[in-house]
Amino acid sequence: ELLPEEEKENARSVRIPKSRILTLPELRANPFQHRICRVFSTSEDGDDSMSFEDFLDMLSVFSDSATSEIKSHYAFRIFDFDDDGTLDKKDLENLVNCLTGQSEESRLNSAEMEQLIQNILEESDIDKDGTINLSEFQHVISRSPDFASSFKIVL
Amino acid sequence: MAQLPVALHISEDTESDGQEPSPCNEGAMHTSFRQLIQEQSSLVEAAAGAELEMPARDREPPEPQQDDEHAGYSSATLRILASMPSRTIGRSRGAIISQYCNRTARLRRRSSRPPLQQLSHAARPSLRQHHLDTDPAAATLEEKRSLLVKELLSLSPGQRSHMLLSVPLSLAEKRTLRQELSGQRGSPREDTQRGAPFSPCGRSKYHIILGCRGLWYGLLSLLPAVQPWHHALKQIGSRFGSSVLSYFLFLKTLLGFNVFLFLLLLVFVVALQAAYPPAPASHQPFTGLELLTGAGYFTRSLLYYGYYSNVTLNEPCAARPNCSAAAPPLPYNMPLAYVFTVGVSFFLTCILLVYSMSRSFGESYRVGGPVGDLAIKVFCAWDFKVVRKRWVKLQSENIRTQLKELLAERQSRSHPRSPCRQLEHVAVRLLAWGLSLGTVLGCVVAVHYFSEHMHAVQQDAGSRASGERRQEAVLLVLPLVVSLINAAMPHLYNLLATWEKWDSPVLEVYVAICRNLVLKMVVLGLLCYQWLSRKVVCSSEACWETCVGQDLYRFVVMDFIFTLLDTIFGELVWRLVLEKRLKRKQRPEFDIARNVLELIYGQTLTWLGVLFSPLLPAVQIVKLLLLFYIKKTSLMQNCQSPSKPWQASRMSTVFITLLCFPSFLGAAIFLSYTIWSVKPSETCGPFQGMETIYESGKTWVRLLEKSNPNITWFTWVHQYLLENTFFLFFVSGVLLAVIYFNIQVVKGQRRIIRLLKEQIANEGEDKIFLIQKLHSVYEQRERRS
C-alpha cells in the first residue's frame, strides 16, 4: 500500500521516501523509527529512502527466524545514534530518552540519568574504555533471554 | 545533526556503503584529511563544543579551553581511532566479511592449533590482513569477499547455508556472495553431472526431490494458519507485550496436555466401553442441575468410574453361552485397559512436562548470574511489537517507572539502613508471614469442619428422604466455600504485601506466588485425605469412587464459575467503578501471577480426578476454551498491562516448574497411593472385589506366565525391577550424581568467565595507554611542524 498505482510494475527498483515508510502502522509510533530507516536504507544520497530489498532486509531482521546474533548486530546499529561504531554516553542518553518518552516531564532528571549511565557502563563496559562496543553489547544481550521476542515486528 | 563533530565527519566517509577505513585507500583518506583541516579551522573560529568521541573526554584534559585545539591536534589520532577494529565491526561491510571469514576458517580448522601468526580475536578482523608496518596493500572489499567465498566453499553445504543465514549483511551483499559461490562451484558441478547417470531414473529422482521440497515449503507457509489462536495471540502480544502473552501461551500449553490425555483415554477406554455398554440400570431423568452437580443423570454414565465393566469385553463365543456369531473375536480386558491407560498417560505426561521444563529452563538460565540487570533492562526492555501510539506511551511510562524503581533500589542498597529500621523491617516481615500461614491453617480447619457438617446435613436430608435434587444441591456448598477462599485470600495477600513494602518488585511477585501456592496446595491436600480415608466424605456410598469423581467434577465446575465471577467483578466492574465513580484514567491491571495459579489449580484437580472420572479432561478442555475467549475479551476491554517488571521467559519457567512439582507430583502421588493401597468398592467399577487396583496387573502377569512359559523374563523384570526398591534407589543415586556433576561444571564456567573479564579489563588498560602515547606522539609532531 506504500506504492502509488503506476509504480507497482517496477516495484523492485523503486525507492520509497522516508516519509512514506514512516506511515506504516508498525513504525508510526515507534521511537526508533528514524534510526531504523537510517540503518536499513542503502541509498547513496543519505535521504533514508528504502528500496524493496531494504524493506525485505528490515523485515527479515525483525522476524522470528533471524538469529539472535543478527538481531543484536542490528540492534547495536540502531542504538548507535551517532554512527561511530560504539555506544558512548551521548548515545546511551539518547537511548534512554527514546525509551522513556520524548516529552519533558517523562524524561529522567539529570542526576538519575547520570547514575543510570554510570551503572550501565559499570555493568557492561568490560575493557573500561568508557564506551560499549559491539562485542560488549552482544555479551549483555546474550544474558537476556527475552531479547529475541521483544526485538520482533509482526506484520 | 546540524553541527557534525569532527570525529563524525570521518565516520560519514567510511559508512557501510562499502568504503574502507583502511589506510590503504589513499585517495579517500587524503580528501577526508583535507575536509578535516577545513572543519578544524571553522571549528576553531566557531568555538563550538566539539564532541570528541575519543577517550580524551573521560580523562579530563588539563585545560578545558584547549578543547578545540585538542580537536585540531588529535585529528590524526581520531582518524586512527575511527578505524579501530572494535569500532568498525559494527559499521563496515568489509570488517563483517573478514570476521566471518575468520569464523569459517576456525570452524574448518577446529581440531588443529591456529598458527602463531594469526592474531585474530573474537570480534576483530584478522590482523594478518592489516599489516601494521608501512602503508599496507590491505585487502579491498573484493579481495575480502573472495577470501570469504573460498573459505565457505570448504565447508559442508549445511554448514555453509547456516553460516550464510547468520551473516549480518544486506540482501544484495548475500546475493553477490551466493552468486560467487555457485559460480565457483559451477565447474566441479559439471564434472559430477558428467559422471552422474543421465538415465531417466536419476533425472526423475531429482525432479521428485525438487517437487517434495516445494511441497514442504508450501506446507510450512501454511503452518501459521493452522496453529490455533495465532491471530488472537498476535493481537494480545502487540498490545500488552510479552508478559501478558505468557499467560495465554501457558493456557495453550495446558490445553495441549489435556487434549493428549483425553485422546488417550478416549481411544482406549471410553469409546470401547461406549460400544459395549453394560446392563442398563434405571436412568434418572435429565434435569439442568446435573451440569453443576455431576450427579443424577450422570451418575451411571460414561463420566464416572462406576459405569465401567470389570469383565473382558467382546469375548470369543466359546466362553459365553449366548453370543452372536457375527461379532469379531477381539477380546478386550477392560480393567487392565483402564489401569494401564491411566498409568501410561500419566507417565507420558510426566515425560512431556519434564522435557518442556528443561527446555524452558535452558532458554532462560544464564551462567553469569543476575548481575547487570540495569543494562539488560535498558537494552532489551523495548518491545517492538507494540504498535499503537497510546500503548507505546504506556510502555514508555512503564519503562520509566521500572528504571526509577531499579535506581532507587540501587541507592538504598548502597546506603544501608540503621539497625533500628532493619529490626523493624524484619519484625514486619515475620509478622506478615505468620499472618499468612495462620490464615492458611485457619482456612484448612474451617474447610475440614465445614465438610463434616455438610455431609452430616446431607445424610440427615437423605434419611429424611427429602428430594434428591435438594440433597445434591447441598453438596454444592463445599466446593463453593473452597472456591470462595481461593478467590478471596489472594486479595488479602496483596494487601499484606502493600503493607510490607518490599524493596524489590520481583521478590514481591515471588512471595505472592509462594503464599497463594501454599494455601491452594494445603487445602487440596486436606481434601485428598478426606476422599481417600472416606471417614467424612462418601462414607455411606456403596460406590465411593463415583462419589469422589462427582466431588471432583463439582470442584472443577465451581472453579470455572468463580473464575468467571472474578473476571467480571475484578475487571469489568472495577473498571466501571474507577472510571465513573473515582474518575481515574487508570484501568485495572491484569494480575498474571494470580491467574496462572488459578490455571494450575484447575489442572491439578483434573489430574487428581482422571482415575475416578475418565471424561474429566474433556470438561477441562471445554473450560479452558471458554476461559481463553472470556479472558481475552475482558483483557481487551477492561485492563492495562502490568506496571511491575516481568521477565517473561523466567516466569514461564517458574510456571512450568510449578505445574510439574507441586501440581503434577502431588497428583501422581495421589494416583499411585490409590492404585497401590486403597481397596476398591465391591459393587461397581472395573476393579470390583479385588484387594487393590494394582492386583489386576499382578493377576494378569500371573496369567501370562501360566499361559506361555517362554516369557518368564517379563515376570522376572516385573518382580525385581518394579517391586524391589533397590532399583529405585540406584536410579535416584545416578540422578543425584549427574546433577552434582552439572553443578560443578557451572561453577567452573563461572570462574572462567571471571578470569576472562579480568583479562579483557587489562587489555582495555593497554589500549588506553597506547592511545595516550599515540596522542602525545602526534601532538609532538604537530608542535614540531
pLDDT digits (tens, 9 = 90+) for B515-553: 999 999 999 999 988 888 876 667 666 778 888 888 899
Residues in chain A with pLDDT < 50?
5-6
Q: What pLDDT was estimated at residue A56?
A: 83
CA distances from B153 to A57, B172, B184, B188 (A): 25, 20, 8, 11
Q: For position B130, what pLDDT does the model report? A: 43
How far is B538 from B125, CA to CA, in rounded Å?
Answer: 77
Q: What is the mean pLDDT of residues B139-157?
A: 72
Q: What is the pLDDT of residue B48?
A: 30
pLDDT at B63: 32
The residues in A 26-45 lying below 8 A from B, measured between CB atoms, are 26, 28-32, 42, 44
Q: Please, are residues B701 and B718 in contact by the beta-carbon 8 Å criterion? A: yes
Whether residue B88 lies within 8 A of chain A, CB to CB, comes out as yes
Q: Which helix (H) or strand (E) holds A15?
A: strand A15-16
Q: Is B231 on the interface with A (CB under 8 A)?
A: no
- Of B553, B678, B676, the closest CA to residue B618 belongs to B553
Grid cell at residue B52: 570528541
Question: Collapsing DSSP states into helix, strand and coil, what is residue A155?
Answer: coil
| All cell numbers assigned to B518 | 501454599
Q: Is the pLDDT of residue B87 over 90?
A: no
Mapped onto helix, strand or coil, the DSSP state of residue B312 is strand
In this prediction, residue B73 has a pLDDT band, given cuts at 50, 70 and 90, of very low
Nearest Cα to B237, choosing from B395, B398, B364? B395
Distance CA B250, CA B599 (A): 9
Cβ-defined contact of B399 to A100 (cutoff 8 Å): yes
Is the predicted pLDDT of residue B254 greater than 90, yes or no?
yes
Residues of B in contact with A30 (CB under 8 A): 384, 392
Lowest mean pLDDT among A22-31, B113-122, B277-286: B113-122
Point out the residue among A53, A101, A142 whose CB comes nearest to the CB of B172.
A53
Question: What does the alpha-carbon distance between residue A99 and residue A107 come to, in Å, rounded to a whole number?
Answer: 9
Q: How far is A64 from chain B (nearest CA, A)?
A: 12
Closest to B168 (Cβ–Cβ): which among A73, A82, A84? Answer: A73
Q: CA B373 to CA B375: how far, in whole Å?
A: 6
Q: What is the DSSP letter of B534?
A: -
Could you tell me how many helices (H) and strands (E) chain B has, helices first? 30, 2
Q: For an interface test with A, which of B230, B380, B397, B412 has the most A Cβ atoms less than 10 Å from its Cβ?
A: B380
d(CA B668, CA A118): 51
Instruction: Determine phi and psi for B39, rounding to 5 degrees.
Output: -60, -45
Q: Is the complex ipTM more than 0.90?
A: no
Q: What is the pLDDT of residue A23?
A: 80
DSSP string covering B44-82, please?
HHHT------SGGGTS--SSGGGHHHHHHHTHHHHHHHH
Instruction: Indicate yes or no: CB of A30 within 8 angstroms of CB of B392.
Output: yes
User: Residue B350: its pLDDT value, please?
Assistant: 92
C-alpha cell belonging to residue B57: 573526554
Query: What is the model's pLDDT at position B250?
Result: 92
pLDDT of residue B659: 92
The predicted pLDDT at position A43 comes to 74
Q: Do B400 and A101 touch (CB under 8 A)?
A: yes
pLDDT at B618: 93
In the predicted structure, residue B81 carries a pLDDT above the cut 90: no
Q: Taking CB atoms and an 8 Å limit, are A124 and B375 in contact across chains?
A: yes
3-state SS, residue B327: coil
Using one digit for the tens of pLDDT, what is the confidence trace for B165-175? Answer: 777 777 777 77
pLDDT for residue B226: 63
Give me the pLDDT at residue B418, please: 79
For position B619, what pLDDT does the model report?
Answer: 92
Better-predicted residue by pLDDT, B282 or B543: B543
B363–A146 C-beta distance less than 8 A = no
Amino acid, res. B180: E
Quick one: closest CA in B to A76, which residue? B90
CB proximity list for B18: less than 8 A, separation 6 or greater: B92, B93, B94, B141
Given a cut of 70, is residue B763 above it in pLDDT? yes
B582 vs B764, which has greater pLDDT?
B764
B94 pLDDT band, cuts 50/70/90, is: low
* C-alpha cell read off for B620: 477441562
Which of 117-156 (B) contact A at CB < 8 A?
Answer: 122-123
- pLDDT cut 90: percent of chain B above it: 16
pLDDT digits (tens, 9 = 90+) for B345-393: 999 999 999 999 988 888 777 665 555 678 888 888 888 877 778 778 8
Cβ distance of B168 and A135 shorter than 8 Å: no
Is a pLDDT exceeding 60 seen at residue B403? Answer: yes
Say yes or no: B382 contacts chain A, CB-CB below 8 A. yes
At position B731, the amino acid (one-letter code) is V
List the one residue out of B337, B336, B304 whose CA is nearest residue B695: B336
* Residue with cell string 544481550: A141
H or E segment to which residue B324 belongs: none
DSSP B680: P
Exposure on the CB side of residue B132, measured as CA atoms within 13 A: 8
- What pLDDT is stored for residue B506 in this prediction? 73
Q: How far is CA A92 from CA A88, A116, B280, B362, in A?
A: 6, 9, 77, 31
In the predicted model, what is the mean pLDDT of residues B677-692? Answer: 80
pLDDT of residue B78: 72
Cell numbers for B521: 496446595
Q: Which residue has the higher pLDDT, B692 or B283?
A: B692
Residue B10: closest C-alpha in chain A: A84
B127 has a pLDDT exceeding 60: no
Contact call for B376 and A140, based on CB within 8 A: yes
Give B396's contacts in chain A (Cβ within 8 Å): 31, 99-101, 106
pLDDT of residue B399: 83
Q: What is the pLDDT of residue B601?
A: 94
Ranked by mean pLDDT, the top range of B63-72, B211-220, B658-667 is B658-667
Chains A & B: contacts with CB separation below 8 Å? 207
Exposure string of B508-542, with b = 16+ CB inside 10 Å and e = fewer, is: bbebbbebbbebbbbbbebbbebbbebebbbeebe
Total count of residues recorded for chain B:
785
Contact at CB, A149 and B375, closer than 8 angstroms: no
- Interface touch A150/B242, C-beta < 8 Å: yes
**So what's the pLDDT on residue A65?**
79
Residue A119: what residue type?
A: N
Tens of pLDDT, residue by residue over B2-35, are 433 333 333 333 333 333 344 434 334 444 445 5
Q: Which region among B101-110, B446-455, B547-556, B646-655 has the lowest average model confidence (pLDDT)?
A: B101-110
Q: Any bridge partners for residue B589, and if so which?
A: B640
- B758 to chain A, any CB pair closer than 8 A? The answer is no
Compute the distance between CA of residue B539 and CA of residue B220 in angstroms, rounded to an integer. 57
Cβ contacts (< 8 Å) between A58 and chain B: which residues? Answer: none
The dihedral through the CA atoms of B296, B298, B300, B304 has a sign that is negative
DSSP category for residue B114: P
Report CA dihedral (B157, B163, B164, B169) to the nearest 10 degrees. Answer: -170
Average pLDDT over residues B243-262: 91
**Quick check: B379 and A83 CB within 8 A?**
no
Contact B770, B80 (CB under 8 A): no
Query: Nearest-CA distance from B380 to chain A in Å?
Result: 5
Give Cα separations from B320 to A106, B308, B337 (angstroms). Answer: 84, 20, 21
State which residue of chain B sits closest to A39, comparing Cα positions: B16
Chain A residues with CB-CB distance to B364 below 8 A: 145
pLDDT for the residue B67: 34
CA angle B89, B94, B100 (to 5 degrees): 70
B508 pLDDT more than 70: yes
Nearest Cα to Cα of residue B635 among B339, B251, B149? B251
pLDDT at B251 over 90: yes
The pLDDT of residue B121: 44
3-state secondary structure at position A27:
helix
Q: Is B177 left (phi over 0), alpha (psi -120 to 50) or beta?
A: alpha
- What's the mean pLDDT in B589-604? 90
Q: Does B781 touch chain A (CB under 8 A)?
A: no
Q: How far is residue B295's CA from residue B293's CA, in Å, rounded to a whole number?
A: 5
Q: Are strands A15-16 and A50-51 parallel, antiparallel or unpaired?
A: antiparallel
Q: Report which of B661, B603, B686 is spatially closest to residue B261, judged by C-alpha positions.
A: B603
Chain A residues lying within 8 Å of B383, measured CB to CB = 150
Question: Quick check: A137 and B379 CB within 8 A?
Answer: yes
Task: Report how far residue B785's alpha carbon sits from residue B778's, in angstroms, rounded to the nearest whole number.
Answer: 10
Q: Is the pLDDT of residue B623 over 60?
A: yes
Task: Give how far Cα A119 sits from Cα of A113, B85, B373, B611, Å.
Answer: 10, 26, 10, 56
Instruction: Tell me which chain A residue has its CA closest to the CA of residue B12.
Output: A83
Q: Which of A67, A75, A145 sits opposite B165 (nearest CB)?
A: A67
Our measurement of the distance from residue B420's CA atom to the centroid of its chain's CA atoms, rounded to an integer in Å, reads: 42
Q: CA–CA separation, B532 vs B552, rounded Å?
A: 13
Q: How many CB atoms within 10 Å of residue B778? A: 18
> Would you state the pLDDT for residue B259?
94
Using CB atoms, pick whichever of A120, A145, A150 lies closest to residue B374: A120
Average pLDDT of chain B to the nearest whole number: 75
Q: What is the DSSP string of B399-455?
A: HHHHHHHHHHHHHHHHSPPPHHHHHHHHHHHHHHHHHHHHHHHHHHHHHHHHHHHHH
- Specify which of B132-136, B155-159, B406-410 reaches the highest per-range mean pLDDT: B406-410
Residues B106-115, mean pLDDT to the nearest whole number: 57
Q: Which residue has the cell 465438610?
A: B451
Residue B552 near chain A (CB below 8 Å): no
Q: Return the pLDDT at B372.
A: 62
Q: What is the model's pLDDT at position B301?
A: 76
pLDDT attached to residue B186: 52
- Cβ neighbors of B661 (< 8 A, separation 6 or more) are none
A positions 100-129 inside 8 Å of B (CB)? 100-101, 106, 108, 112, 115-116, 119-120, 123-124, 126-129
Contact of A12 with chain B, judged by CB distance below 8 Å, is answered with: no
What is the mean pLDDT of the segment spanning B569-574?
A: 84
Which has the closest alpha carbon to B513: B354, B657, B358? B657
Tracing cell 474447610 back to the chain, one arrives at B447
pLDDT at B353: 93
Give contacts of B761 with chain A, Cβ < 8 Å: 126-128
The answer to whether the Cβ–Cβ distance between A86 and B90 falls below 8 Å is yes
